[in-house]
Amino acid sequence: MQRATLVGIDLGKHAFHLHGQDQHGNAVFRKKVSRKQLVEFFATLQACTVVMEACAGAHHMARTLASFGHHVRLISPQFVRPFVKSNKNDFVDAEAICEAASRPSMRFVSPKTESQQTLSALHRVRDSLVRDRVKAVNQVHGFLLEFGVSLPVGKTVMTRLPAALAEHALPPRLVAILERLHEHYKYLSDQIDELEKEMYRQLADDELGQRLLSIPCVGPITASVLAAEMGDGKQYGSSRDFAASIGLVPRQYSTGGKANLLGISKRGDKNIRRLLVQCARVYMQRLDRQVGRLADWVRSMLTRRHSNVVACALANKLARTAWALATHNATFDAGAIVMSA
C-alpha cells in the first residue's frame, strides 16, 4: 500500500471517518474508527498532513495529533461544502476535506491552545448568564405592568422592587414569584461578578491581553475575547484579512469591471464585531478627550459620514490595530498610526 501524505477526517461524537490520499491524490484507504482507535491509528502512522473541519472537538484533536508529529490543519466548514460530490455521507465528507485542503488558495484556521479554549468557554458562560439576567429583569417589568405598576426601564427595577412590593397591593402569590425572580437576579449577578473576576485574573497573566488593553476604549472583556479568538494573529496575512474575517469590511457585488461596495459583510464572529463596535461608540462619545491621529481621523469622518458608518469604520481600525499589536509584539501609540480617510 502506498504511503498516505494527506488524511481527511470527518469528525463525529463517537465515530470518525478517514480518507487517506497519496501525493498524487489517489485514494489509499478509507476507515471508520472510534475515538480510541483514531488516536491509536495516528500514533503509529507515519507523519503526514491531517485535515479536519474546524468544528466541535477539532482543536483538541488537532493538539493530540500534532503531538504525534503530524501536520494538522483546520478548514472552515463553509469552504468544504462546495467539494462534496453528489450524495452526501461521512466518507464523501472526508474526501471533500482532502480535496479542499489540496487547493493552493485555501484558507485555514489556526488550532487554539487549551488556555484560549478555556477563556472562550468562560466568555460563553458569562454571555449566557447575562442573557438570563436580562430575561429576569424583563419578566419583572412585564409582571408588574400587568398589574398596573410601571417602573423605570432598566436594571433599576430590581433596586426599587422591594419598595414597589410594599407600596402596591399585589396578590400574595405574585409577590412570591417576584421575590423569587429577585433572588434569581441576585444569584446571576453574583455569578457574573465571579466570572469577570476570573477573567480579569487570566487577563493579568496574558501578555497579549495587556498590550491589547493599551488600545483606546478597549476594556478587559474585549481584550480577553480578542486574545482568545485571534491568538498571535499569524493565521491572517494582513490586518485587513482579520477585519474581513469578523465582517467589518464592505460586502462586494462587482461585475463587468464596475466595483459596487455595499454595507459591512457581518461575517465571522459576531461577538467580537459587536464588542469592537461598542468600543468605537465609546471612543466617539469621549472624542473631546482623545488625541492623536486616530482622533483627528474620526473627527474628519464625522463631518462627512453618519455616526453609524463612522462607528463601523472605527471598529475596523480597532480590529486592524489589535492585529498589528498581536503580530508585531507592540503596544498602542496614538501618534504613530497613519490613518487613511
Q: 34-51: per-residue pLDDT in tens? A: 999 999 999 999 999 999
Q: 229-263: per-residue pLDDT in tens? A: 887 788 888 888 888 888 888 888 888 878 887 88
34 with 126, same domain?
no
* Per-residue H/E/C for 277-294: HHHHHHHHHCHHHCCCHH
Residue 242, domain member (yes or no):
yes
188 with 132, same domain?
yes
218 with 323, same domain?
yes
Structural domain boundaries enclosing 301: 213-328
Residue 311, domain member (yes or no):
yes
Residue 232, domain member (yes or no):
yes
User: Alpha-carbon distance 188 to 299, whole Å?
Assistant: 40
55 with 120, same domain?
no
Who wins on pLDDT, 15 or 159? 15
- Is 109 within 8 Å of 75 (Cβ atoms)? yes
Q: 204-214: per-residue pLDDT in tens? A: 888 888 889 88
User: Alpha-carbon distance 19 to 2, whole Å?
Assistant: 13
| Helix, strand or coil, per DSSP, at residue 152 | coil
Residue 176, domain member (yes or no):
yes
32 with 125, same domain?
no
CA end-to-end distance (rounded Å), the chain? 60
Final residue of a domain: which of 204, 225, 259? Answer: 204
pLDDT band of residue 341 (cuts 50, 70, 90) is very low
Q: Is the pLDDT of residue 338 over 50?
A: no
For residue 104, the tally of other CB atoms under 10 A from its CB is: 4
- Is 132 within 8 Å of 124 (Cβ atoms)? no
- Predicted confidence at residue 18, as pLDDT, reads 93
- Predicted confidence at residue 268, as pLDDT, reads 81
- Predicted confidence at residue 233, as pLDDT, reads 80
Residue 265, domain member (yes or no):
yes
The whole model's pTM is what?
Answer: 0.81
pLDDT band of residue 190 (cuts 50, 70, 90) is very high
60 with 133, same domain?
no
- Predicted confidence at residue 63, as pLDDT, reads 93
User: Alpha-carbon distance 301 to 310, whole Å?
Assistant: 6
121 with 65, same domain?
no
Q: Is the pLDDT of residue 290 over 50?
A: yes
- Predicted confidence at residue 75, as pLDDT, reads 93
- CA-to-CA separations, 243 to 72, 80, 276, in angstroms, rounded: 25, 22, 11
State the cell numbers at 29: 484507504
pLDDT band of residue 339 (cuts 50, 70, 90) is very low
User: Alpha-carbon distance 315 to 283, whole Å?
Assistant: 10
- Predicted confidence at residue 183, as pLDDT, reads 94
Q: 86-142: per-residue pLDDT in tens? A: 788 889 999 999 999 999 888 888 888 888 888 888 999 999 999 999 999 999 888
- Predicted confidence at residue 1, as pLDDT, reads 52
Residue 149, domain member (yes or no):
yes
- Predicted confidence at residue 105, as pLDDT, reads 86
User: Alpha-carbon distance 184 to 117, whole Å?
Assistant: 28
223 with 185, same domain?
no
218 with 318, same domain?
yes
Q: Quote the number of domains for the chain.
A: 3
36 with 123, same domain?
no
217 with 323, same domain?
yes
Q: Give the highest mean pLDDT range of 61-65, 237-241, 333-337.
A: 61-65
Residue 299, domain member (yes or no):
yes
Q: Residue 69: give its domain's CATH number.
A: 3.30.420.40
- Predicted confidence at residue 328, as pLDDT, reads 86
pLDDT, average across residues 140-158:
84
Final residue of a domain: which of 171, 204, 237? Answer: 204
Final residue of a domain: which of 204, 231, 252? Answer: 204
- Is 232 within 8 Å of 327 (Cβ atoms)? yes
The percent of residues above 70 in pLDDT, for the chain, comes to 97
Q: Is the pLDDT of residue 156 over 80?
A: no
- Predicted confidence at residue 24, as pLDDT, reads 86
Residue 108, domain member (yes or no):
no
Who wins on pLDDT, 115 or 189? 189
276 with 306, same domain?
yes
261 forms beta bridges with 252
Q: 300-314: per-residue pLDDT in tens? A: 999 999 999 999 999
- Predicted confidence at residue 340, as pLDDT, reads 39
- Is 228 within 8 Å of 127 (Cβ atoms)? no
